Every structure is written in C-alpha cells, then in structure tokens.
C-alpha cells in the first residue's frame, strides 16, 4: 500500500469526506478538491497533478465527465489504514510479537472492538 505525503493525504481526506456514503458512486472534480483546500492556497494545476499521481498509484479512480475528470477513492479510508497496518506488520521481525505489542497498547474499548471483530470473523469462517 502506498504511503501518502502531506498534500496527498489532504487530497485523499477531501475525497474520503466528500464521497463517503455516496449512493451514486459519484466523484468530485479537481476544482471541488482545490476549493476544499483553499486555505492551502494551492494552484489548480498542483491539485490536478496530485490527483493524477494518486490515480497512477491506484489510490483514486477517475472518470471523464464532459471536459473534466471526476475522482473518487479506490478504497475506503478504513481499508487504506488497515493495509498500512498490515504493511507495518510485514516490516516486523516477528509479526506475532508486533501483534501482541499492539494488542497490549490499545484501550479497553478498542480491545472490545477487536474481540468482537475476531469473534465475528471466526463465526463467518465456521458458517
């Protein structure tokens, strides 16, 4: 999975925030992303270049809408973060040791979420 630079992350955050729950699967244009990042005072061409690079990395999908491109995330924010976590585990000398260390570092509520997810996954595999 691709690690994102600061500007790439900001662009992806706009895409994730604006397209989450979209029933039509519609994306947003370069202009809409640039407008959402107006506090950064980025040139339109800078945003266009970042989106083009993200498309090249497989992070976004694009579709032609008239003369403009419409962009949407290729995967959810949660899927991206999960992939980063798995990639980090691949860097560990021992995945088991890294998982144990991680499990010991989460809050009680986070541990409950993990337990429930593991229980659901085990039930799905049995059924």
Low-confidence stretches of the chain (pLDDT beneath 50):
23
pLDDT in tens, 12-26: 999 999 987 654 568
Inter-CA distances, 79 with 86, 102, 114, Å = 11, 18, 15
Token digits of residue 39: 């506090």
Q: What pTM was estimated for this model as a whole?
A: 0.80
> What is the distance between the alpha carbons of residues 8 and 56, in angstroms, rounded to a whole number?
12
The secondary structure of the chain in percent helix, strand, coil, rounded to multiples of 5, reads 65, 10, 25
Q: Which strands, in side-by-side order, build the sheet including 28-29? A: 28-29, 68-73, 60-65
pLDDT of residue 45: 96
């Amino acid at each position: 999975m691709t690690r994102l630079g600061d500007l790439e992350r900001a662009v992806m955050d706009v895409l994730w925030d604006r397209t989450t729950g979209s029933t039509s699967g519609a994306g947003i244009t370069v202009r809409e992303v640039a407008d959402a990042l107006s506090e950064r005072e980025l040139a339109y061409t800078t945003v266009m270049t970042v989106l083009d690079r993200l498309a090249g990395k497989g992070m976004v999908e694009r579709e032609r809408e008239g003369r403009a491109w419409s962009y949407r995330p290729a995967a959810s924010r949660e899927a991206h973060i999960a992939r980063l976590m798995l990639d980090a585990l691949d860097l560990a000398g021992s995945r088991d040791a890294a998982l144990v260390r991680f499990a010991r570092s989460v809050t009680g509520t986070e541990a409950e979420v993990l337990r429930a997810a593991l229980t659901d996954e085990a039930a799905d595999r049995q059924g």
